[in-house]
Amino acid sequence: MEIDLSRFRSAFFEEAGEHLESMEAGLLALETSGGDREVLNTIFRAAHSIKGASSTFGMDQVARFTHVLENLLDRMREGEVLPTLELCELLLKSTDVLNGLIQSEKSSTPVPVQTESVFVALQQYSGNAVSSPAAAAVTATPYAAGQTASDQTYRLQFNPSGAFFHFGQNPLFLIDELQKMSSGFSIEANVSKVPGLAALDPEACYVGWDAFLTTASPESSLLDVFMFVDGDSIPQIKAVTANEGPPQLISDASVSTQSPAAAVAEKQKSHSAAPQQVTVAKTAAKTSEASVPAVERRTGEERRTESAPAGSNSAASSVSETVRVDRERLDKMINQIGELVIGTSMVEQDWSRFHPDMESAALVQLGKIVRDLQEMSLSLRMVPIAASFQKMTRIIRDLSHRLGKQIHLETEGEDTELDKTVVDQIGDPLLHMVRNSVDHGIELPAERIAAGKPPEGTICLKAYHQGGNFIIEIQDDGKGLDRDRILRKAIERGIVSEHDNLSDEEIYQLIFSAGFSTAEQVTDVSGRGVGMDVVRRNVEALQGSISIRSQKGKGCRMIVRLPLTLAILDGLLVRVANDSYVIPLLSVVESINQKGRDIKSVLSKGEVITLRGEIVPLLRLDRILNLRHSHDATDSNLLVIVEDQGRKYSLAVDELLGQQQVVIKNLEANFQKVPGVAGATILGDGRVALILDINGISAMATKNHPPVTALNHASELVNA
pLDDT of residue 525: 58
Q: Mean pLDDT, to the nearest integer, of 417-434?
A: 86
Burial 667-685 (b: 16+ CB within 10 A, else e): beeebeebbbbbbbbbbbe
**Residue 426 belongs to a domain with what CATH number?**
3.30.565.10
With beta carbons less than 8 A apart as the criterion, state whether 665 and 677 touch.
Answer: no
**Residue 100 belongs to a domain with what CATH number?**
1.20.120.160
Is there a domain that residue 38 lies in? yes
**Packing angle of the helix pair 60-77, 171-181 (nearest 10 deg):** 50
Statement to judge: residues 121 and 250 lie in one domain: no
Statement to judge: residues 636 and 710 lie in one domain: yes
Is there a domain that residue 313 lies in? no
461 pLDDT more than 90: yes
Identify which has the larger pLDDT, 591 or 468.
591
Identify which has the larger pLDDT, 149 or 333.
333
Range of the domain at 43: 6-136
Residue 280's SS3 state is coil
Is there a domain that residue 319 lies in? no
CA 414-27-323 angle, 5° bins: 55
Is there a domain that residue 464 lies in? yes
171 pLDDT more than 50: yes
Statement to judge: residues 632 and 550 lie in one domain: no
Of 240, 264, 290, the residue that ends a domain is 290
The model's pLDDT over 237-280, given as tens digits with 9 standing for 90+, comes to: 888 765 555 544 433 333 333 433 343 344 344 433 333 333 32
- The domain tally of the chain equals 5
Statement to judge: residues 504 and 441 lie in one domain: yes
> Which pLDDT band holds residue 151 (cuts at 50, 70, 90)?
confident
Computed over every residue of the chain, the mean pLDDT equals 75
For residue 466, count other CB atoms closer than 10 A to its CB: 9
CA 458-460-462 angle, 5° bins: 175
Of 136, 163, 180, the residue that ends a domain is 136
Identify which has the larger pLDDT, 177 or 128.
177
212 pLDDT more than 70: yes
Statement to judge: residues 649 and 576 lie in one domain: yes
Statement to judge: residues 479 and 511 lie in one domain: yes
Is there a domain that residue 127 lies in? yes
pLDDT of residue 300: 35
pLDDT of residue 631: 54
Q: Mean pLDDT, to the nearest integer, of 197-204?
A: 79
Phi, psi of 675 (to 5 degrees): -60, 135
pLDDT of residue 266: 45
pLDDT of residue 630: 53
Statement to judge: residues 151 and 275 lie in one domain: yes
Statement to judge: residues 234 and 337 lie in one domain: no
Measured CA to CA, the distance from residue 535 to residue 645 in angstroms comes to: 12
Is there a domain that residue 264 lies in? yes
Distances (CA, A) of 105 to 67, 99, 111: 17, 10, 9
Statement to judge: residues 114 and 231 lie in one domain: no
> Which pLDDT band holds residue 135 (cuts at 50, 70, 90)?
very low
> Which pLDDT band holds residue 521 (cuts at 50, 70, 90)?
low
Tell which residue, 187, 207, 169, has the closest CA to residue 55. 169
Percent of the chain scoring above 90 in pLDDT: 7
476 pLDDT more than 50: yes
pLDDT of residue 456: 92
With beta carbons less than 8 A apart as the criterion, state whether 187 and 255 touch.
Answer: yes
504 pLDDT more than 80: yes
Statement to judge: residues 274 and 348 lie in one domain: no
Statement to judge: residues 573 and 708 lie in one domain: yes
319 pLDDT more than 70: no
**Residue 585 belongs to a domain with what CATH number?**
2.40.50.180
The model's pLDDT over 356-393, given as tens digits with 9 standing for 90+, comes to: 888 888 888 998 898 888 888 878 888 888 888 888 88
Measured CA to CA, the distance from residue 63 to residue 48 in angstroms comes to: 9
Of 523, 546, 563, the residue that ends a domain is 563
Identify which has the larger pLDDT, 237 or 531.
237
> Which pLDDT band holds residue 222 (cuts at 50, 70, 90)?
confident
Is there a domain that residue 440 lies in? yes
Identify which has the larger pLDDT, 623 or 524.
623
Statement to judge: residues 554 and 579 lie in one domain: no
460 pLDDT more than 90: yes
Q: Mean pLDDT, to the nearest integer, of 113-141?
A: 59
With beta carbons less than 8 A apart as the criterion, state whether 346 and 313 touch.
Answer: no
Is there a domain that residue 321 lies in? no
Measured CA to CA, the distance from residue 477 to residue 30 in angstroms comes to: 26
pLDDT of residue 474: 93
pLDDT of residue 446: 92
pLDDT of residue 444: 92
**Would the pTM of this model clear 0.75, i.e. be above it?**
no
